[in-house]
Chain A
Amino acid sequence: MAESLLEIVGLGKSFGGLHVTNNVSFQLNQHEIVGLIGPNGAGKTTLLRLIMGILKPSFGSIRFKGKNISGLKTWDIVNLGIACTFQNMRPFRRLPIIANVMVSCMCPRAMKRGEWVKRIEAKAMDALEFAGISDMALEKASTLSQGDLKRLEIARAIGTEPELLLLDEPFGGLSPLETDLMAKSIKRLHKGGRFGRLHSEGPSMIIVEHKLQQLMKIADRILALSFGTLIADGKPDEVVQNPHVIEAYFGEGGI
C-alpha cells in the first residue's frame, strides 16, 4: 500500500443553511488518478476549492503529506505542491501566453526547484511545449481557442511542478478529437519525467469531469458525489454500476 498523499476527513462547507459539501472523507494515494463525478451542483468544484484554500472549510480537516493544510493561504498550499486549473478558464487575457505561464514559474517553489536552469522564460517555454501551444507563445492570451485555453491552464499548473494536480473539467467544451489529445497529454504528464527543463515526478491527480467515457479510460478510481455527500468510491466499472450513482444521475427508477 502506497503512502497516502492527501487525506480528507469529515470535510464540510456550508453557505448559511446550505450544506454544499457534507462530511466528505477519502484518501488519495501517491501516483493515483482519481475521477470525481456527480450531477451539477453536487459540490465537486467546491471540494477542489476547499483543497486549494480558495474557500475555507466550515469543519473537517485536509492533510497533505501528513501536514494539515486547511486554513492556509492559497499560495502557501501551491508552494507545498498542489496546483489546480479552473473550470471557467481564467487566463490573463491582455498578457502574452508565455507571460501567463511565467507567472506560475515565478512562485517560490518553482524557483527553488529549477536546479540547473534558472531562466524563467525557458522554463515557461517548456511548460508550453508540453501543453502543445509553444508556437503561439507571443500571441495575446485572448486570441486562444477554448481547447488551447484548457492547455494554457494545464501549462500554468505544471509550471509550479506540483505533486498533486486538481483538474476541473479538463475536457469541458472540447471536440472529441481535442478530448482524445488532452487525455493523452494527461496520461503523459502522469507518467512523469523531464519535459525540457521542467521536472515532473508524475503528479497524482483529481479530475472533475462529466465525460465519463474518457474519464474511465484514465482514472484508477472514481468518487461520486451527490448533494455534497460521497455516495460511491471504487474502481471505475464498479462505480458506474452502483445503483446510488445511477439514481443520482438519472433520478429514481433510473434506466
Chain B
Amino acid sequence: MGFIWFYIRKMFTLFKCEVLVLPSRVALLVFVVALLLVPVFTQDPYLLWVLILTAIFSIFAASWDLLSGFTGQVNFGHALFFGVAAYTSGLINVYAKVPNFLSIPLAAIAGVLTGLIVGIPCLRLRGTYLALTTLAFPIILTGLIFALPEITGGELGISGLDRLSSSRVYDYYITIVLMLVLTTVMWKITDSNTGILLHAIREDELAVRAGGINTTRYKLLAFCLSGFFAGIAGGLYAHIMRTVGPSTLEVALSFQVIIWSVFGGIVSIYGPVAGVFILFPLAEFLRILPRARMLVFAVLVLLTLIYMPEGLIPWIRNKIEKECPRCKVRSIATRKNCRICAASLD
C-alpha cells in the first residue's frame, strides 16, 4: 500500500506546484471540468446544441491557427477543408451507408487530400497572393456543387445523415472530448521541434532553407495537418446537423474563423479556442436583440482589436502573469520574485 500513497502524494505535489501556481493553468482546469460537468446540471437541449457547435468550430479555428498563425500561410478559404469533409461524410453516409464512426475519419482523410491539392499550387505563393488564391478554391467548389445537383443536392444539399449518437448528451460528450483531445494534439505539435520549424518558416523562409530544411515538405505538412483537423470538424458538423449544404463552403465561414482566431489571439492554439467559446455563444444568445445583434458583435470585436492587438487571451495572460526576465518562466503577477530562480520580476 505504501507505494500507492507515495505516488498519490507525488501527484498531489506535482498538481500543487505545477498547476495551482499559475492562474492560466487553473483557469484551463476549471474550464475543462466545467465543460465536462455541464450535462450533470442542465440538459437543456438548446444550451447543449450551442456548446456542441462551439466545440466543433473551436477545432476548426485551431486548425486555421496551425496553418495561418503558425506557418504563416494565410488561408482565406479555410471553409474549403470544412466543406469538403462535410460533403464527403454526407455523401458516403447517405449513398454508401457508411456508419458515422467510419465516415468521420474518411472525412478527415478527404481533408488531408484537399490540403495536398490546395497546398501544391500554393507552394510558390506567399502573402496576399496566397490569400487570394486560397479564397478562390471554395468558390470554385461551390460552383461545382451547383453544377451537379443530382449528386450533391445543389442548393438544398444532402439531408438524412445518421445521427452522431442516440442522444444529445452523448453527442455533447463525443464532441467535447474530441475537441479537448484534438486541440491538445495541435498544441503539442506546435510545441515540438516541428512547431519551431513552422514558426521559423513564417518568419523567414529563405533562412530556413539556408539551414538545410526542406521547406516545401513542411509547408505541405502544415496544409495536410490543418486539413486533417478541419476535416474532423467538418465530419462532426455534418453528423450533428444531419444535413450538408453549400453553407459549409461559404466565404462568410472562412472569414468567421479568422475573426474568431484574431479575437482570441493567433499563434497560440488556445487563443482561437477561447475566441470561439466567447464569440460563438455570444452571437447565438444575442438573437434576443435581433436588430442590434451584429452591431454589438462588431463593436466588441473592434474594441478588442484596437485595445488588445495581440488578441484577448494573450492580453489577459500578460496581465495576470509575468515572465521572469532571467529564466523566462511565468509566475503569477502578484509575486515580487520569480518562482523558479528568485530573480526580481519588476
Contact between B212 and A110, CB atoms less than 8 A apart: yes
Report B-chain residues with C-beta under 8 Å of the C-beta of A110: 212
- Contact partner of A75 among B199, B204, B215, B327, CB < 8 A? B215
Report A-chain residues with C-beta under 8 Å of the C-beta of B200: 92, 95, 99-100, 103
Contact between B327 and A107, CB atoms less than 8 A apart: no
Q: A79-B212, A138-B327 are in contact. Are A102 and B207 (CB under 8 A)?
A: no
Q: Say yes or no for B210: interface residue by CB 8 A criterion.
A: yes
Q: Say yes or no for B206: interface residue by CB 8 A criterion.
A: yes
Nearest CB of chain A from residue B286's CB, rounded to whole Å: 35
* Contact mask for chain B residues 210-250; partner A; CB cutoff 8 A; 1 contact, 0 none: 11111100000000000000000000000000000000000
Nearest CB of chain A from residue B121's CB, rounded to whole Å: 18
- Contact partner of A90 among B206, B215, B327, CB < 8 A? B206
- Contact partner of B211 among A54, A94, A95, A104, CB < 8 A? A104
Cα(A107)–Cα(B193), bound, Å: 11
Contact between B212 and A160, CB atoms less than 8 A apart: yes
Nearest CB of chain B from residue A122's CB, rounded to whole Å: 13
Cα(A244)–Cα(B200), bound, Å: 44
Nearest CB of chain A from residue B212's CB, rounded to whole Å: 3
* Chain B, residue nearest A92 (CB): B203
Q: Say yes or no for B208: interface residue by CB 8 A criterion.
A: yes
Nearest CB of chain A from residue B323's CB, rounded to whole Å: 10
Cα(A104)–Cα(B197), bound, Å: 9
**A53-90 interface (Cβ within 8 A of B):** 54, 73-75, 78-79, 83-84, 86, 90
Contact between A95 and B212, CB atoms less than 8 A apart: no
Cα(A83)–Cα(B209), bound, Å: 10
Q: Say yes or no for A156: interface residue by CB 8 A criterion.
A: yes
Q: Say yes or no for B196: interface residue by CB 8 A criterion.
A: yes
Report A-chain residues with C-beta under 8 Å of the C-beta of B215: 75
Report A-chain residues with C-beta under 8 Å of the C-beta of B207: 86, 90-92, 156
- Contact partner of B212 among A94, A102, A108, CB < 8 A? A108
Q: Say yes or no for B328: interface residue by CB 8 A criterion.
A: yes
* Contact mask for chain A residues 9-53; partner B; CB cutoff 8 A; 1 contact, 0 none: 000000000000000000000000000000000000000000010
Q: A99-B196, A138-B328 are in contact. Are A78 and B210 (CB under 8 A)?
A: yes
Q: A102-B196, A106-B193 are in contact. Are A75 and B212 (CB under 8 A)?
A: yes
Q: Say yes or no for A202: interface residue by CB 8 A criterion.
A: no
Report B-chain residues with C-beta under 8 Å of the C-beta of A104: 210-213
- Contact partner of A95 among B193, B199, B210, B328, CB < 8 A? B199
Report B-chain residues with C-beta under 8 Å of the C-beta of A156: 207, 211
Contact between B210 and A94, CB atoms less than 8 A apart: no
Cα(A100)–Cα(B327), bound, Å: 18
Contact between A94 and B203, CB atoms less than 8 A apart: yes
Cα(A233)–Cα(B327), bound, Å: 50
Contact between A78 and B211, CB atoms less than 8 A apart: yes
Q: A92-B200, A120-B193 are in contact. Are A78 and B206 (CB under 8 A)?
A: no
**A91-118 interface (Cβ within 8 A of B):** 91-96, 99-100, 102-104, 106-110
Nearest CB of chain A from residue B322's CB, rounded to whole Å: 15
Report B-chain residues with C-beta under 8 Å of the C-beta of A93: 203
Cα(A92)–Cα(B204), bound, Å: 6
* Contact mask for chain A residues 184-226; partner B; CB cutoff 8 A; 1 contact, 0 none: 0000000000000000000000000000000000000000000
A-B contact count (CB 8 A): 77
Q: Say yes or no for A228: interface residue by CB 8 A criterion.
A: no
Report B-chain residues with C-beta under 8 Å of the C-beta of A106: 193, 196-197, 211, 213
Q: Say yes or no for A159: interface residue by CB 8 A criterion.
A: yes
Q: Looking at B204, B210, B213, B328, which has the most chain A CB atoms within 10 Å of its CB?
A: B210
Cα(A120)–Cα(B238), bound, Å: 43
Nearest CB of chain B from residue A131's CB, rounded to whole Å: 15
Report A-chain residues with C-beta under 8 Å of the C-beta of B209: 54, 73-75, 78
Cα(A86)–Cα(B214), bound, Å: 19
Q: A95-B203, A103-B200, A120-B193 are in contact. Are A84 and B212 (CB under 8 A)?
A: no
Cα(A139)–Cα(B211), bound, Å: 20
Contact between A102 and B193, CB atoms less than 8 A apart: yes
Contact between B214 and A95, CB atoms less than 8 A apart: no
Contact between A86 and B210, CB atoms less than 8 A apart: yes
Q: Looking at A92, A103, A107, A108, which has the most chain B CB atoms within 10 Å of its CB?
A: A103
Contact between A103 and B206, CB atoms less than 8 A apart: no
Nearest CB of chain A from residue B200's CB, rounded to whole Å: 5
Nearest CB of chain A from residue B2's CB, rounded to whole Å: 36
* Chain A, residue nearest B209 (CB): A74
Report B-chain residues with C-beta under 8 Å of the C-beta of A73: 209, 214
Cα(A1)–Cα(B328), bound, Å: 53
Nearest CB of chain A from residue B134's CB, rounded to whole Å: 23
Given A91-B204, A138-B327, 16 additional A-B pairs, CB 8 A: A75-B212, A75-B215, A86-B210, A90-B204, A91-B207, A92-B200, A95-B199, A95-B203, A96-B328, A99-B200, A102-B193, A103-B211, A104-B210, A104-B213, A106-B193, A110-B212
Q: List 21 A-B contacts (CB under 8 A).
A: A52-B210, A54-B210, A74-B209, A74-B210, A75-B213, A75-B214, A78-B211, A79-B212, A86-B210, A90-B206, A92-B207, A100-B200, A103-B200, A103-B213, A104-B211, A104-B213, A106-B193, A109-B212, A120-B193, A156-B207, A160-B211
Lowest 10 CB-CB distances: which A-B pairs, in order? A107-B212, A78-B212, A104-B211, A92-B203, A90-B207, A74-B209, A138-B328, A103-B200, A92-B200, A103-B211
